[in-house]
Structure 1
Amino acid sequence: MNSKRAVDRRRRLALLPACAGIIGCCLLSGCGIQAGTPSPAGTVTGRNSTGTASSTPHSDSDPGDRKLHMLAVDPVLAELPSGLAKTDEKQTPAHYETPGFGSGGSFGAGVSVTFTSAASIPDVYRMIGENAVRNGWVAKAADSTGMTNRWLKTYPDGSPATLILSCKDQNATTTTRSCTLDGGI
């Protein structure tokens, strides 16, 4: 009976990365983080649930990219703890997408930082969590393993922000792990 439980537990643990990815995508889409790339003309192109999307920044959503800048220079995203090596950073300005067959409207600014580390997954979560709390973020929720992976912060101008940490294949036996820290405002 115990071996059956162990097999069932291993199967459930094997599904965790996929579930975390799906939940992360759902959360990010609800937190105003939109995948896209700004073009030189100020238009953001990317993909949404209806296919390819094109949008333009709204002057009232984030004038002068003030909120984007506030998030991008926040130490939790700009200065990773020792032992975490930043490999990529993407900044997405706040923008508006014309509603189509399923999505559209205003999307907040977002910053996504990808990094690698040789530290264990629990250590990565602990380091990011300690850095977040040190910089004014409040723990909000934990993933299925019980590790805190979401934080909230309200900036001095009253803008609410969300921070989400996710790591690829938490059960992998590789010595280096890749993780992403997504902030949205």
Structure 2
Amino acid sequence: MSESDYPLSAFSAERLQGTNQPFADYAGKILLIVNTASKCGFTPQYTGLESLYQRFRDRGLLVLGFPCNQFGAQEPGDASEIASFCQTNYGVSFQMFAKVDVNGDNAHPLYRYLKKSAPGLLGSEAIKWNFTKFLLNRKGEVTKRYAPATTPDAIAEDIETLL
């Protein structure tokens, strides 16, 4: 697949470690992209996300976590605090990125693409809360959007069909 055929090639994001990650590197991978928070009722989903990553990573799945502080200020930490929290409490080994906005004028361009590609309930593009999930196929196309309450385990079958 050429870079021009991969819609995510236009995007990059800063990793928690401060390095820039071009999304062109993800061509040919299945992606599960999640806006995360450390102090949310859904935070225990980190366990399920890590489990999905461990189960399917050798077959081409990448889980990408994007901390966001737009919902109830539930991600107040800086990059090192977020990294430490995720590793210490949930053993997160999947890729985590620097804090982003997912809604509003400062929404990360990747999230603008995701929301436009897969609107939520009643056609609303807005992300309603932490742990909204987007599943993308190997071509970088959004195949499904999941509500925050959808557990990672409930997504496993959809991932399996894309692998």
| TM-score, reference length from structure 1 | 0.26
| TM-score, reference length from structure 2 | 0.28
**Greater fraction of residues in strand:** 1
**Greater fraction of residues in helix:** 2
Bigger RCO (CA 8 Å, 6+ sep)? 2
Q: Could you say which structure has the larger radius of gyration?
A: 1
